[in-house]
Amino acid sequence: MSYYKYMALERFASIRQGRIRFTQPGAFNDPFEMPAFKAAEAMRLAGLAGLSAQTDEIVAGLSRGQVPAAAFVPAISYFLGTAPGPANPKAEAVPSKVAIAKILNIDEVFGILSLSMTADNLLLWAHYASDHRGVAVEVDPRDQEFNRHTSQNRNFERAGRVRYSAVRPRIPETDEVLFEHFFVKSPEWSYEQEYRIVRKFESALQTIDADPPIHLYALPASAVRKVIFGVRVMVKQRQAVIDETRADPAFAHVDFAQAVLNPTEFKVDIRDIGDLGSAKPADL
């Protein structure tokens, strides 16, 4: 099985420097990714719990011929987190505020490397590789050196294929990190054929101060297998990348390929360049 990272052409320089980014779930373009999705669901559950407690308090008060204070609390306040505490001090919203805070903290703890198991998807080339002006880099996630990352949590890592489902994973009513959420997306994303690697940011090699922060991990040259150029990459640009990469003995094993437009169908064909690095796509 092959795995590909689509990127802009200029970002390949980071790959040659032995760096690859793991991204916060909240920075992805899918609003259902954690933590935003999970926190919103958690707050919804907390609101429903508060609303239920309010109803019980009102019913209990009316049964005694009293109008309890809870009757004057706007229902929406339980979802906005502005409602006063419950009459019963032992009653807590489910999940708790502490649990929600931990959910919101996910972006500060976990990063995801997204790879695709296909190199010829037109949408992936358009969305993630600068409108076919970038590259798709074949990465071997099983490379031993790539998996020698260090962490205080025994080299924490989760990896696997993304499952596509119309039903969202159930949100636990605790502060538990349910890792299933990292690997489930809606069917609309199935064209990506995504494979994910999840690591803790504490094992990052470098963190760049930005909004959000950029966390870079070590990517050894041995984990880079092939570089595929998009159909709109200029010949001079392609040759420059090939020459610079081959000048480094650590990348001597890397193969190069070119995506070309299929003459009869709406698709791209991937053709190996081999030693024909200076040839034009039409000549391949």
Q: Is the dihedral of CA 4, 10, 11, 16 positive or negative?
A: positive
Sign of CA dihedral 241, 196, 22, 24: positive
Tens of pLDDT along 161-219? 999 999 877 666 555 566 778 899 999 999 999 999 999 998 898 999 998 899 999 99
pLDDT for 147-161, tens place per residue? 776 555 556 788 999
Residue 38 near residue 95, CB atoms below 8 Å: no
Mean pLDDT (the chain) is 82
Based on C-alpha coordinates, what's the Rg of the chain?
25
- Is pLDDT at 119 greater than 70 in this prediction? yes
Work out the percent of the chain whose per-residue pLDDT is above 70.
72
Question: What is d(CA 63, CA 66) in angstroms, rounded to the nearest whole number?
Answer: 7
Q: Is the pTM of this model over 0.85?
A: no
